[in-house]
Structure 1
Amino acid sequence: MIELRRRQRILILSLLSFTVFAPLILFSDRLKLLAFNGRNEFVEDLSSITYRTDTLKLNSIEKEDARGLEEPKQVVYKENDFVPTINYSSKQRNDSEESGIVGYRRFNDDKKENQQVQRKGSSSISGEKKKFNETVPQYQNMNTQSQRKKHENIGGRNEQSDQKTSQHHQTLHSWSHKASNERVMEIKDQIIRAKAYLMFAPPGSTSRLVKELKLRIKEMEQIVGEANKDSDLPRSALQKMKHMEASLSKANRAYPHCHLMASKLRAMNYNAEEQVRTQLAQVSYLVHLAARTTSKGLHCLSMRLTAEYFALRPEERKFPNENRIDDPELYHYAVFSDNVLACAVVVNSTVSTAKEPEKLVFHVVTNSLNFPAISMWFIFNPPGQATLHIQNIDKFKWMSKYSGFKKQNFSDPRYNSELNCLRFYLPDIFPALNKIVLFDHDMVIQQDLSDLWNVKMKEKVNGAVGTCQEGDTSFYRINTLINFSDPFIAERFDGNACTWAFGMNLFDLKQWRRLDLTGVYHKYLEMGSERPLWNAGSLPIGWLTFYNKTMVLDGRWHVHGLGYNSGIDRNKIERAAVIHYDGIRKPWLDIAMGRYKGYWTKFINYDHPILQQCNVHE
């Protein structure tokens, strides 16, 4: 019995000893492994932090020429040459100072490389020592001979050093200015590289590296924001860039295959270009669709005005001063339009800038659909002392003698409009007049035009502003819209002839009738229906019809391009007598250019009750 108890005690003591010493034995190896891994991770993180942050920049630096390495320039700079330009103790370093530090490092690198080249190649350089000293005399003080004469030439050397320092300061300043957006570009490149590395990870991956890259991308996108230059970046940008570069270094070690990275970047670039191309096509389609569509407000305006017009008695629909309509001594202006507000702006702007508004006569020609609305608008808003005459194209009896009036068939409805073709029938529309100014309906008149009527036409028919000044945004060559490969065109017209623009044209109707230019127009129209002689529109056939019969006016009379060109000088616009919203971005549309719209909207009273009812506003 005693023996049994003794064995039990031994067993219990053995078990207690095992429970005490076994964990120490088992976990000692694990602790060693853990400590070793932790030390490795620390060393790895330390190496990633000290990793150079100026490698693998995609867009922020220029690529070197792959044809060969250039020999370093034989220039040696002293450290004290750079001390005045850089203050390392400054707490508020701006972009130019950061750029100066980069330049300092690059010049120091050049200095070290040049010294190594001089030590290694002293035997080869000694043969060309004379030539080197002739081209770079300011560096002769590096030779032993100049050291012996140090005290004798100290004044001249200091002067040369000051001159060299000044030149270097200018170089650093210009380099810093040029590289003012270098850090922004580098941040964007880092984001692109990080996204490319993420593509290597399996879908749905939640690894530590993937999470870290996603976090860095988010941080960098918040930092760069809408910044365009380095001065727009916050102060923490540099530290974040270092963290991002450390993460990219880890990713580079995890995915070291450069050719795979290049393939990913090419795929990303191709996808981005395809998206941009698709978006541009959609934008172009929607803009053209908006240009051809009547807005809800303008449609409402036409309907309400039409209803009001037919509610009037016939005698209430007439305009005053009908006896002035055919008076050749007055200033006659014609507008062909189906847009109520466009006609209103042309009339209002001309009357408001005229010195003698009582001499103005406006001839508005429209179609039967819009005739009531336009008439009712001017009944509500008479043009002051000026005379107004509104005509319906469907009531023209002379049109029956021209069988080819509607032979222009183009896909764009703007060019197929009958109102667009009427400009070639002015003598028939106004048989009692000898002169007339034709306005497009997308015009704004800013100055008095009485001097325009005093222009000597010199037996020309058409007075227009030229578009033949090369380098101007409105520049057109005649062969850009006319087919000079056709023998008929090539034999009769000069491909370098000066072109001109429709929009504001002064026509001598008496000379027009004498030359029968309407018949000339019909001849070209008939030929153009048989073979392609010009592009769509009335402008190229107008160049043919009025070839050698156009008087080029001063460019200040007519500035155009406000419907497509956003870069027109504002001073040029304000000096112009007439501005023209040619193009698809008309001022009455939502797609109009905001910077030009104010010149047009100031001639519309948007507080008018009928405009308020139709929600027509600026």
Structure 2
Amino acid sequence: MKSGGGGGSGASAYGFPAKRRWRGLVIGVLGLVILSMLVPLVFLLGLYNGFHTTGYASDSQNSKPDVFQKYAIEPKKEIKDVMHESQEPKGLPPPKVDAIPTHTRENSTKVGGRVQPSQRMTAMDESGKPCEWKFGSYCIWRQENREVIKDSMVKKLKDQLFVARAYYPSIAKLPSQSKLTQEMKQNIQELERVLSESTTDLDLPLQIEKKSLKMEATIAKAKSFPVECNNVDKKLRQIFDMTEDEANFHMKQSAFLFQLAVQTMPKSMHCLSMQLTVEYFRIDSTNLELSQAEKYADPTLNHYIIFSNNILASSVVINSTVSNSKESGNQVFHVLTDGQNYFAMKLWFLRNSYKEATIEVINVEHLKLDDHENVTFVLPQEFRISFRTLTHSRTEYISMFSHLHYLLPEIFKNLDKVVILEDDVIVQRDLSALWSLDMGGKVNGAAQCCHMRFDELKSFLGESGYIQNDCTWISGLNVIDLAKWRELDLSQTFRSLVREGGSTDAVALRASLLTFQDLVYALDDSWSLYGLGHDYKLNVEDIEKAATLHYNGYLKPWLELGIPKYKAYWKKFLDREDLFLSKCNINP
């Protein structure tokens, strides 16, 4: 009994606790298995502190996107934004239109002979806006001119330095790792010294590979020790913020310098204007001028109007027109310019002849017109209009007449028909057919943009007062019926529309579009191809077939930033033999 009781007592004392321990071990193992499955999932889903692709942890709520990654996929569009009201998502900025002093146009494709906008998705930055909204046309140019990153060793050293700085504070807190701490400190100081003296791989010392391998080994040792992730995360976050601020600073600086480069006259071309002006007064060029005043106002001749303060650009327009004309003796070019470039223009066209064509240079600041005491010189205006939806954005560029164009009926009172050419246009075909063009009572023969209609611009045109399905038009090559213009008094219509809306840029665009409402004759697509100052994807066949090429966009062919593959069409009409071009080192 006792032994049986002892056996029962033993079963009670040892059997049940053993079962409990066995059950505890099973539960523990199951728990570890579950955790081993959940932890990788948590890390993969980024739920633990929001891991980045770099492998370093950061706060999922406060972390910022990778600035380098977002700048690497910039779209080809522009900076300001006008949105379809019918598609306007809540919380987005109100529609805007931006006037720019030069001409631009987005990446697009040709469908049925007409340029169609791209519908590509737009990459966003940390503010939720496309890159070009923040940095302008610079983003387009930067994307198209992106180069493979050079100086890979310098970049590698900087990355190693960042990682070493991140781990150093944690290693320095380990008393047993004083040797590793000293080693890391020396390597950090050594790389800092090298990078302070070298900005390219060519500047690096000969033994830099050994230094890099040494730093790599030191970082590997540091990673083998258990360190507080929060400390490493905090340090990497500080470095990331500093790097992002630096990247933003350089992006803004680059964008500013880009805008400065495309909106100002190059030094060499300013030199040309100054040299010609000095020479004009040195040789008393008034004695060289030939009296051709009778041709200036002869309505039986073909008169071309050019507004320009750029000697080379206006020269190329005239040279290309004359070179491709069947008969140049009946061509008269009127170049309207400002007082600063007037004498330089006069001497240039006295020194250079263009077959039998007649050229008149007019200083608009000296014009004496009825009801206009002071006339200021303004180049044709261009407006950049962006449409943004939740899925994509596109940008269109419309070049428009300046207020000077609305003085043409008063400036040329004896003329009934003229052709207006902008100075960023070249001619590839005889234009004589334009003079016999029957415009059916219309006033303005122009290239139309039917992929952007009036109803898409109602945010600043208003809700009524125009035909909503009408196409917009673009200046560059325009056939103008001055007789009909005077009959309808369109200049007064334009002034009235401007007074109604104030003085903003959008008002000028609205006034121009509404002035010629239902008075625009659509020129055939073969007469004009625009976008060569912005669109990198134009079809070569379309370029070669077009009668005129319009370099509307920031990237003018006479600028170093111009699109290289389009420059050849412009350069072949440039007179490179003139002495003053070599004097001023002009070689666009």
TM-score bin, normalised by smaller chain: 0.5 to 0.7
Could you tell me how far 1:570 is from its partner in structure 2? Answer: 3.6
What residue identity is the alignment partner of 1:280?
M
Higher gyration radius (CA): 1
Q: Distance in 2 between matches of 1:495 and 1:193?
A: 60
Q: 2:302 aligns with which of 331, 347, 351?
A: 331
SS in 2 for 1:499: strand
SS class of match (2:349): helix
Higher mean C-alpha deviation, range 260-269 or range 279-288 = 260-269
- The one-letter amino acid paired with 1:521 is F
Evaluate the alpha carbon distance shift between residue 269 and residue 568 of structure 1 in structure 2; reply closer, same or farther with a 3 A threshold: farther
Name 1:390's counterpart in structure 2. Answer: 361
Match runs of 1:28-67 below 5 Å? 59=53
- CA shift for structure 1 position 246: 8.5
Match of 1:200 in 2: 167
Partner of 2:530: 560
Question: What TM-score comes out, normalization by structure 2 length?
Answer: 0.58
2:413 is the counterpart of 1:443: no
- The 2-side partners of 1:258 and 1:324 are apart by 84
Higher relative contact order (CA 8 A, sep 6+): 2
Do 2:365 and 2:375's aligned partners in 1 also have CA atoms closer than 8 Å? no
How far off is 1:357 after superposition? 2.2
Q: Which moved more, 1:250-259 or 1:325-334?
A: 250-259
Contact 1:436-1:509 at 8 Å conserved across structures: yes
How far apart in 1 are the matches of 2:182 and 2:406? Answer: 75
Number of positions where the alignment pairs a residue of Structure 1 with one of Structure 2: 404
Residue of structure 2 aligned with 1:287, choices 258, 262, 268:
258
- Residues 1:372 and 1:324: Cα distance change in structure 2 (over 3 Å): same
Q: Which is helix-richer, 1 or 2?
A: 1
Partner SS for 1:506: strand
| 2:575 pairs with one of 605, 608, 613 | 605
The answer to whether the aligner puts 1:520 opposite 2:490 as a matched pair is no
On the 8 A contact 1:558/1:576 being kept in 2, the answer is yes
Specify the SS of the correspondent of 1:535. Answer: helix
Cα RMSD of the aligned pairs, angstroms, is: 4.5
Shift of 1:331: 2.4
Shift in alpha-carbon separation, 1:366–1:410, aligned structure 2, 3 A:
closer
**Conserved? CA contact 2:307–2:380, under 8 Å:** no
Cα deviation per residue 1:158-194 (whole Å; 9 max; x = unaligned)? xxxxxxxxxxxxxxxxxxxxxxxxxxx9xx9999588
> Is the CA contact (8 Å cut-off) linking 1:196 and 1:264 kept in structure 2?
no
Aligned with residue 458 of structure 1, among 440, 445, 466:
440
Match of 1:182 in 2: none
Conservation of the 8 A alpha-carbon contact between 2:444 and 2:516: yes
- Residue 583 of structure 1 aligns with an amino acid whose one-letter code is G
Alignment-derived partner of residue 425 in structure 1: 407
Cα gap change, 1:257/1:598 in structure 2, threshold over 3 Å: closer, same or farther? farther
Contact 1:334 1:439 in 2 (8 A): yes
The whole-number CA distance in structure 1 between the counterparts of 2:246 and 2:470 is: 42
Task: Provide the rounded CA distance (Å) in 2 between the counterparts of 1:466 and 1:193.
Answer: 56
TM-superposed deviation, 1:317: 1.4
Contact 2:429–2:548 (8 Å) recurs in 1: yes
Amino acid at match of 1:318: L
Q: 2:464 aligns with which of 458, 466, 491?
A: 491
In the alignment, structure 2 segments of 5+ residues that lack a partner are: 1-43, 61-151, 173-177, 193-199, 202-212, 383-400
Q: Match for residue 378 of structure 1?
A: 349
Distance change >3 Å, CA 546–CA 263, structure 1 → 2: farther
Quick check: 1:197–1:261 contact (8 Å CA) kept in 2? no
1:232-311 alignment runs, 5 A limit? 250-254=221-225, 256-310=227-281, 311=283
Give the corresponding residue for 1:71: none
User: 8 Å contact 1:408–1:525 — kept in the other structure?
Assistant: no
1:363 aligns with 2:334: yes
Tell me, yes or no, if structure 1 residue 318 matches structure 2 residue 318. Answer: no
Which AA in structure 2 matches 1:200?
Y
Equivalent AA in structure 1 for residue 536 of structure 2: S
In structure 1, the gaps of 5 or more residues are: 1-54, 67-184, 218-224, 227-241, 413-418, 470-475
Over residues 417-462 of structure 1, what are the superposed CA-to-partner deviations in whole Å (9 max), with x where a residue is unaligned?
A: xx94211222112222222111111222122222333443122111
User: Partners in 1 of 2:467 and 2:560 — Cα distance?
Assistant: 41
Q: In 1, distance between residues paired with 2:450 and 2:233?
A: 48
| Structure 2: distance between partners of 1:284 and 1:341 | 26
Equivalent of 1:529, from 502, 515, 518? 502
Cα-to-partner distance string for 1:568-616 (whole Å, 9 max, x where unaligned) = 3444333322222223333333333333333222222223212222222
Change (3 A) 1:434 1:567: same
Contact 2:304 2:420 in 1 (8 A): yes
Match for 2:472: what amino acid? T
Alpha-carbon deviation of 1:251? 4.0
Correspondence list, 1:94-105, <5 A: none
Amino acid at match of 1:463: G
* Cα distance change, pair 452–278 in 1 and its aligned pair in 2 (3 A): farther
Tell me which protein shows more strand as a share of its residues.
2
Normalized against structure 1, the TM-score is what? 0.55
Sequence identity percentage: 33
* 1:556 to partner: Cα distance: 3.3
What residue identity is the alignment partner of 1:342? A
